[in-house]
Chains A and B, each alone.
Chain A
Amino acid sequence: MSGTSPALVAAREADAAAASAVKAYQAAGGLEDARERYAELVARHQRRAARIAYHYLRDSAEADEAVQDAFVKAYQHLSSFREELPFDVWFTRILINGCLDRIKARTRRERWLVPMAGTGRSSSAASESAPAERDMTERVAAGGQSPEQALLGRERRQQIATALAKLPERQRSVFVLSHVEGRTSREVSALTGLNESTVRVHLFRAIRKLRALLAHDPVAATPGELKGKRRVTS
């Protein structure tokens, strides 16, 4: 998390080159070439985008739609992209704004709908049916884990996801971008539009709250705790 790695620099240079090429093709009317070149960018950022959208929306179908919308929107507005800004930062900002719009729309919808018993989705619907519904044998075969390990792993994932869902929206975003996506505070600041010091404060509070929520987690509850009062320097 410290600084920018050479691999990241190289990836960003490749992104910038691809984005410039797409822009040039779009301007020249070579739309097929533009789409082909843009597909490179999609392939490179798709997984990361899916993770971010999933952690925002907690619903794989909605996250899928949000990612698609963000890529289409980025393609349409690529002419407004400035090369001095990394493409991933610009694109992630589009994605996050889209996710926030969806959350707002969902909140409005849920205000008028009464959830049916058993199907109601709370903000921590967390557990997100998709992985849970998948056939256990398939997952065990894929991961090479014993059923017990798989079950424990799934429980832990669920606990962490539930704890994360309990964080306030900003703290959750900052935590996900910092510790799931491995962004620096400066990058998170550029992505979220928050001040860098504000990002650090949100991150500190998010970690403290997560530790409190996961106090029963054997990994979290180590005897020599940091008492949740120290600033994490990355």
Chain B
Amino acid sequence: MHPHLDGCAECRARFAAFEGWLLGVGETLRGEADEAFPAERLAMQQAQIARRLEALERPARVIAFPKAARAVISGNSHVRRWVTVAAAASLIAGFGLGQVMPLRTVMKNQQAVVPNAHFNAPTTAAIAKDLTATTTPDADELLSDAFASPKVKNLSALDDMTPHARDYHARSK
């Protein structure tokens, strides 16, 4: 005990009260635990420990499972196994080929190409003839169609205000 407590009555009383409280708390906690573990429970626990120690010395029992409980792998015969492997291999090969050669698009392209095969390629002379025929003659006709005045009445005022290409064309002639 601290030497100060011998000379100071007040502190001694406080310390005694504190010590009493602390002892009380310890006692209460011990009581609580003892209540959770009465003598019968401790006896049962002891018996359980003895059983477990005894069990440690005995080797573990191995239970043999019946044959029927084993997983049966289908196809003991070699033929069945080979068939399975071949089917799997062909499936994989087919899938791989499908990835490499997109058959659908090839088929579509073929369908599109077939009608063109009947088309006769024009000769260069014919193309030249066609070109001269289209370019030279009726530029005026085409322009007259293009430069025709609009048929909508509401727009005629606007059309009058707008300079026309046909006028320029006529002037240049």
Given the known interface contacts A39-B50, A46-B46, A233-B2, the answer about A131 and B32 at a Cβ–Cβ threshold of 8 Å is yes
Alpha-carbon distance A72/B50, docked complex (angstroms): 9
Within 8 A of B (CB), among A28-63: 31, 35, 38-39, 42-43, 46-47, 50-51, 54-55, 60, 63
> Are B54 and A35 touching (Cβ within 8 A)?
yes
Interface string of A155-192 (1 = CB under 8 A from B): 01100110010000000000010011010000000000
Contact B36 A68 (CB under 8 A): no
A172 to chain B, nearest CB (A): 11
B113 smallest CB distance to A (angstroms) = 64
B residues within 8 A CB of A96? none
Write out the residue numbers on chain B whose beta carbons fall within 8 Å of the beta carbon of A51.
Answer: 30, 33-34, 37
Q: How far is the CB of A83 from chain B (nearest CB, A)?
A: 21
Q: Which of B8-66 contact A (CB under 8 A)?
A: 10, 13-15, 17-18, 20-22, 24-26, 28-37, 41-42, 45-46, 48-50, 52-54, 56-57
| A75 close to B53 (CB less than 8 A) | yes
Given A47-B34, A76-B56, A224-B10, A68-B48 contact (CB < 8 Å): yes
**What size tier do the contact residues of chain B reach?**
35 or more
CA separation between A68 and B36, bound complex, in Å? 16
- Asked if B34 and A157 make an inter-chain contact with CB atoms under 8 angstroms apart, the answer reads no
CB distance from B165 to the nearest CB of A (A): 84
Distance from B20 Cβ to chain A, minimum over Cβ atoms (Å)? 7
Is the CB–CB distance between A39 and B25 below 8 Å?
Answer: no
A130 at the interface (CB under 8 A from B): yes
> In the assembly, what is the distance between CA of A196 and CA of B152, in Å?
110
Cβ A180 vs Cβ B26 within 8 A? yes
How far in angstroms is the closest Cβ of chain B from A41?
A: 10
Residues of B within 8 A of A38 (CB): 53
Please report the C-alpha to C-alpha distance between residue A38 and residue B52 in the assembled complex, in whole angstroms: 13
- Select A50's contact among B10, B21, B37, B50, beta carbons within 8 Å: B37
Supply 10 further A-B pairs (C-beta < 8 A) apart from A54-B32, A224-B10: A50-B36, A55-B33, A72-B49, A157-B32, A179-B26, A180-B29, A219-B21, A219-B24, A220-B21, A222-B14
8 cross-chain pairs, A with B, having the tightest CB-CB distances, nearest first: A224-B14, A51-B33, A179-B26, A60-B36, A222-B17, A50-B37, A54-B33, A131-B35
